Amino acid sequence: MDANFRAIILWPDNIPINIIIVLIAWLTWYALYRAAENDKRIENGECPIEALPENREKVWVWPNLVFTELMCMIGCTIFLVVWAIVFKAPLEEPANTTWAPNPAKAPWYFLGLQEMLVYFDPWMAGVVLPGLILVGLIAIPYIDTNPKGNGYFTIKERPIAMWGFLYGWIVLWMYLIIVGTFLRGPNWTFYGPFEYWDFHKVVSEYNVNLSEFVWLKWLNTPMPSNIILREIVGIILTLVYCCVLPVAIAKSKYGKKIIENTGQIRYYIFIILVLGMTSLPIKMVLRWLFSLKYIIALPEWELNL
């Protein structure tokens, strides 16, 4: 019932995103519910729900499928017509090259990328991280080649595929769209759900690099002139994260279980993709807690991580 929250939620541009959030939440719950039911049946020695005789009936494309598709198209057309009548189109004045809206936001499907730009350089936020997320999601069925779970919902028989997809889709994509839509206000400032979007609000933030933490704050010494020595701590941490951590995880109980199911080559492809995708929430938490800007800051080489 909060007026500020209601104004943001009911803004015409945000109505489609509200519908998407509700649909994704319901469909995710329903899929997990069906998976949990199937896992119970399999534990009891029964077949999945999808394998029951009444669910295996085959029908002809014509007229069964075509008729269903026709009804869906008619329903969607009616929905869009009613929507166009009830909600006014948020049309503004013609584009003006001397003025930009505040906040200047990308279309909703690019808001996740725009949110990544807060924490990473453009080459990371616009190319590397989205590429890792998309490749990671596409690679799931090629990494987890377990034949179980094909054609029916399950959690226990395909944990890597299921949790990997939910992490990449819900956490790394939809969550960033929600933040960019409902929590980023004027001047791209972060606002709480019930906070008034004040165009005159000024937030003073001073984000520092890891090298500044090490040399200036912790060691209380001037920054070294040698750029490699200056960023040596960040370089070591990055190498440990990318090279040592996959080997350490492989020797753990959980890592050995993954290797048994996928093999070493697919395991290392999988773990590198997971670590790359996980670098985004890690960087976000470090920014929130410690105002950390870059772990490795090499503007001389245009390399900032």
pLDDT tens, N- to C-terminus, the chain (305 residues): 788 888 888 887 888 888 889 999 999 999 999 999 999 999 888 888 888 877 777 778 888 889 999 999 999 999 989 888 887 777 777 878 888 778 888 888 888 888 888 888 888 888 888 888 888 888 888 888 888 878 888 888 888 888 888 888 888 888 999 988 888 888 888 888 888 888 887 777 788 899 999 998 898 899 888 989 999 999 999 999 999 999 999 888 888 888 887 888 888 888 888 888 888 889 989 988 888 989 998 888 888 88
In degrees, rounded to 5, the angle at the alpha carbon of residue 303 between the alpha carbons of residues 299 and 118 is 85
Residue 79 tokens read as 């929905």
In eight-state DSSP terms, residue 35 is H
Q: Do 297 and 231 touch, CB atoms closer than 8 A?
A: yes
Q: Do 167 and 137 touch, CB atoms closer than 8 A?
A: no
Q: Is 45 left (phi over 0), alpha (psi -120 to 50) or beta?
A: left
Position 16 scores a pLDDT of 84
Position 32 scores a pLDDT of 92
Q: Which of 176, 70, 165 is nearest to 117 (CA)?
A: 176
Position 304 scores a pLDDT of 87
Distances (CA, A) of 98 to 101, 105, 180, 187, 199: 10, 17, 24, 17, 19
Residue tagged 């753990």 (tokens) = 252
Residue 190 tokens read as 């972060």
- Write the CB contacts of 157 (distance below 8 Å, at least 6 apart in sequence): 39, 42, 146, 148, 149
Per this entry, what is the length of the chain?
305
Position 270 scores a pLDDT of 87
Q: Model-level pTM?
A: 0.81
